[in-house]
A = this chain, B = another copy of it.
Amino acid sequence: MKGKPLASIVSAGLSKFGKIDGLYARELFAEAAKEAYERCPNLDPKRDIKALFIGHMGESYEHQGHTGATAADWAGLLHVPATRTEAACCSSGVALKAAVYAVASGLCDVVMVGGVEKMTHRSTPEVTEFLAMASDFPFEQWHGITFPGLFALMATAHMHKYGTTEKQMAQIAVKNHYNGSLNPKAQMQKEITLEQALSSRVVAWPLKLYDCSLITDGASCLILTKPELAKRYTDAPVHIIGSGQASDTIGMYEREEFTSIRAAKLAAKTAYEMAGLTPSDIDVAEVHDCFTIAEIIAYEDLGFCRPGEGGRMAENGETALKGRIPVNTSGGLKAKGHPVGATGTAQAYEIYLQLTGQAEKRQVADAEIGLTHNVGGSGATATVHIYRRG
């Protein structure tokens, strides 16, 4: 049945995002879990939660794998089945999909899903190297290209094919920094001007410093239940009504085009079909703006505009907080921050706040339908989820 809830979010938590010194990833996750528990006094975590899925991208940052068991223990869920998922920056997007399966199976009444990454204690070259493991070793990493370079290839292809401009990309940064300035958990809570963005130093042309998302510590989580049990835990659930995921070649060199992300288009198609909705039904969205060009491509891949019109959509302010369809009200990866494993469920956290009227200064009026779009690597994995106010 179209639009039938697959699972319901009854609570959510987010740690402060930023440079958090002196805490391990497990402690960041505990901070997110604590918020989710406090928001949901009817939940007895140890008794009720039957599984934990946690997105975590890199074992290298803390020389620590086996994140599922560790996160479960620190979140007060000792002995609960706990599974780490990894799909690069889509690690908690795929965790959410796995958690939806667990709830929909009927085998688990309540499931926790989240993500975490601790990154800022490593040097920038180290972080760049660890992130590169999400690209192809023999045909990308080995030749020295890293993620700013891969997304710069997308940006130049988009500029060439559609006339997209550096200014349009900079406008994404300005918008997301403005939104971030309204989010007390964002890493960057300061506005920037178009001139600042355009004159920032080049990282991989045409991408400049303000076109790039941040290196961030943080964690996020959601509590999911079967829809019929949601009212046991909250008066204001948010239902997941569409859950799409797809994959693509890991190497960009094998793709037919650089101006869209096919896995995201396929994931969106699945999610819209499950939800019985079209892009015009979406009231608010969080999309994967790891670089500003990625947000422009996301508008197109999600059907918010036609291919090639994403740049103009940004320029016209259609996705601003008061625009036709506000995108990245949280500040996005660009300003809220991008603790890679945590990002997918952090996007869902923002949509949860928006659809339950808890987004404070960045609240979108009367938002009923939300969407999240999470991308791994240069697009070898993507998930799209659609949410409805309960």
Contact = CB atoms under 8 A, between A and B. Distances in A.
Contacts of A132: 63
B263 A66 contact: no
A146 interface: no
A63 B381 contact: no
Copies in the complex: 2
A134 B101 CA distance: 26
A70 interface: yes
A133 B63 CA distance: 6
A309 interface: no
A101 B105 contact: yes
A240 B317 CA distance: 53
B105 A69 contact: no
Interface string A253-297: 000000000110011000000000000000000000000000000
Nearest to A376: B66
A68 B94 contact: yes
Interface in A78-108: 78-88, 94, 97-98, 100-102, 104-108
A250 B66 contact: yes
30 contacts: A24-B138, A56-B86, A59-B133, A63-B132, A64-B133, A64-B136, A64-B137, A65-B88, A65-B134, A66-B87, A66-B250, A66-B376, A66-B380, A68-B247, A69-B377, A70-B136, A73-B247, A73-B248, A73-B249, A78-B249, A79-B262, A79-B263, A81-B247, A84-B85, A86-B86, A98-B98, A101-B105, A101-B107, A102-B105, A104-B106
